[in-house]
């Protein structure tokens, strides 16, 4: 049976190094490949999340070139040509722009969603319904740029926010974007939570590949010129040489600052938001990772390890070594992570500094 939506594509950005999840995440096995949720990696969950929305043959992964073999071995159906390997990381605008320009070269009518390999999202059916709404909105008007806003569950200061504008006539659950807001102070986040018109910025999008390529030429011309040169060579024998020469020279820009915030002021584009009222967990550090492990109702302790304890509270004990026992007495508000060759112990309040610690770890243990 032929695909009823041959111009729909899904892309997954999987370029993060996961240094905040050291020592479980390493240079040779980054966060997105770790079996962090139900025995499957976050990348596998992202891949399966679009089942029934986009055919596997129409899915693209953009990640580091040196992870090509490991990632293709993980994802059933990912073809060689649909793995876009970055020689170096140059932030999200270049990753998304590369996908857009390669797709526009292959299929001028391509519409694609942008997902990341950092999230646990439930229920999946609700996520898929939102994706389908987004595809229909862009297919009806390719000047629309869809972003997805997560309904806030608390006054978070670690996420960017999107302010919802007027509803788009004729479309269910699609709204204009009034503005994007960078990570706020706590008092401002409390106001946003009470207002009920603000959502967390999920970092997920749907675009027309052609229209996004055109927008990049206006808003980020230096990036667009380099990406266009790469895309022109991408399906030729010159691919690797052009990538290696051009991609490392592209200015580093995020998709939000480099494109989405600017697009809200462009009369030729319509930046829209679809609210996602579901459970969304950004697994970015040990505190958020601990939320994937069931908590003890009485103590708040969480563990996936062989562990015994006396009188500890609110600690997370994580291990990938089934032969090792971890024992604790009277500990509070700690994270303990054990692997076969490295152990991390830190207060829960200091988990963001694991990235700083990673920079000091000797190369052999990174």
Taking only the tens place, the pLDDT of each residue in 139-148 is: 999 999 999 9
Give pLDDT tens digits for 17-75: 789 999 999 988 888 898 877 789 999 999 999 999 999 999 999 999 999 999 999 99
Say how far apart CA 362 and CA 82 lie, in whole Å: 35
State whether 62 and 179 are in the same domain: yes
- Structural domain ending residue among the three candidates 215, 250, 282: 282
State whether 271 and 344 are in the same domain: no
**pLDDT class of 93 with cuts at 50, 70, 90:** very high
Residue 270's pLDDT is what?
A: 97
Least confident of 115-124, 228-237, 288-297, 320-329: 288-297
For residue 2, tell me if it sits in a domain: no
Give pLDDT tens digits for 222-274: 999 999 999 999 999 999 999 999 999 999 999 999 999 999 999 999 999 99
Statement: residue 1 has pLDDT above 60: no
The closest of 75, 49, 53, 50 to 62, measured between CA atoms, is 75
Average pLDDT, rounded, for the chain: 95
Q: DSSP state, 2?
A: -
State whether 31 and 66 are in the same domain: yes
Burial string for 212-232 (b: 16+ CB within 10 Å, else e) reads bbbbbeebbeebbebbbbbbe
- 230's tokens: 């790469």
Residue 36's pLDDT is what?
A: 79
For residue 180, tell me if it sits in a domain: yes
Q: Whole-model pTM?
A: 0.93
**pLDDT class of 320 with cuts at 50, 70, 90:** very high
**pLDDT class of 16 with cuts at 50, 70, 90:** confident
Say how far apart CA 148 and CA 94 lie, in whole Å: 20
- 210's tokens: 């052609």
What range defines the domain where residue 176 resides?
A: 8-282
- Structural domain ending residue among the three candidates 249, 282, 315: 282
Residue 2's pLDDT is what?
A: 55
Residue 15: which CATH number? 3.90.550.10
Statement: residue 3 has pLDDT above 80: no
For residue 313, tell me if it sits in a domain: yes
Residue 15's pLDDT is what?
A: 83
- Structural domain ending residue among the three candidates 250, 266, 282: 282
State whether 106 and 18 are in the same domain: yes
Residue found by looking up tokens 């240079």 in the block: 27
Statement: residue 107 has pLDDT above 80: yes
Mean pLDDT of 150-159: 93
Say how many domains are in the chain: 2
What percent of the chain stands above pLDDT 90?
91
Mean pLDDT of 196-225: 97
Angle between helices 42-49 and 124-140 (to 10 degrees): 60
Q: Where are the beta strands (DSSP E) in the chain?
A: 8-13, 59-64, 83-86, 111-116, 119-122, 144-150, 161-167, 175-181, 198-208, 270-276, 279-282, 302-303, 306-310, 316-319, 325-329, 334-338, 343-347
State whether 93 and 36 are in the same domain: yes
- 175's tokens: 């709204």
CA dihedral defined by 80, 131, 133, 143, rounded to 10 degrees?
A: -60
Residue 315's pLDDT is what?
A: 98
């Amino acid at each position: 049976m032929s695909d009823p939506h041959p111009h729909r594509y899904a892309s997954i950005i999987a370029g993060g190094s996961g240094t905040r999840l050291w020592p479980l995440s390493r240079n040779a096995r980054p966060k997105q490949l770790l079996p962090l949720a139900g025995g499957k990696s976050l990348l596998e969950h992202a891949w399966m999340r679009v089942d029934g929305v986009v055919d596997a043959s129409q899915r693209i992964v953009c990640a580091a070139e040196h992870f090509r073999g490991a990632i293709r071995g993980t994802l059933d159906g990912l073809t060689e040509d649909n793995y876009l390997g970055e020689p170096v990381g140059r932030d999200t605008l270049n990753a998304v722009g590369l996908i857009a320009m390669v797709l526009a070269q292959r299929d001028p009518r391509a519409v694609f969603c942008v997902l990341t390999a950092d999230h646990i999202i439930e229920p999946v059916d609700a996520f898929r319904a939102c994706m389908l709404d987004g595809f229909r909105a862009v297919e009806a008007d390719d000047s629309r740029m869809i972003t997805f806003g997560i309904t806030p569950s608390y006054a978070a200061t670690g996420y960017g926010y999107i302010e919802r504008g007027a509803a788009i006539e004729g479309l269910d659950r699609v709204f204009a974007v009034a503005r994007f807001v960078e990570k706020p102070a706590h008092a401002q986040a409390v106001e946003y939570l009470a207002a009920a018109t603000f959502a967390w910025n999920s970092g997920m999008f749907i675009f027309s590949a052609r229209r996004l390529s055109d927008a990049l030429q206006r808003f980020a011309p230096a990036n667009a010129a380099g990406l266009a040169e790469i895309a022109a060579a991408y399906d030729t024998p010159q691919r690797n040489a052009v990538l290696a020469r051009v991609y490392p020279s592209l200015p580093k820009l995020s998709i939000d600052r480099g494109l989405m915030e600017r697009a809200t002021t462009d009369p030729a584009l319509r930046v829209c938001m679809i609210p996602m009222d579901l459970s969304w967990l950004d697994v970015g550090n040990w505190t958020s990772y601990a939320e994937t492990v069931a908590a003890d109702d009485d103590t708040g302790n969480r563990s996936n390890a062989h562990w015994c304890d006396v009188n500890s509270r609110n600690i997370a004990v994580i291990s990938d070594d089934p032969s090792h026992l971890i024992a604790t007495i009277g500990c509070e508000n700690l994270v303990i992570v054990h692997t076969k060759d490295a152990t991390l112990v830190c207060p829960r309040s200091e988990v963001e500094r694991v990235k700083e610690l990673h920079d000091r770890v000797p190369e052999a243990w990174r």
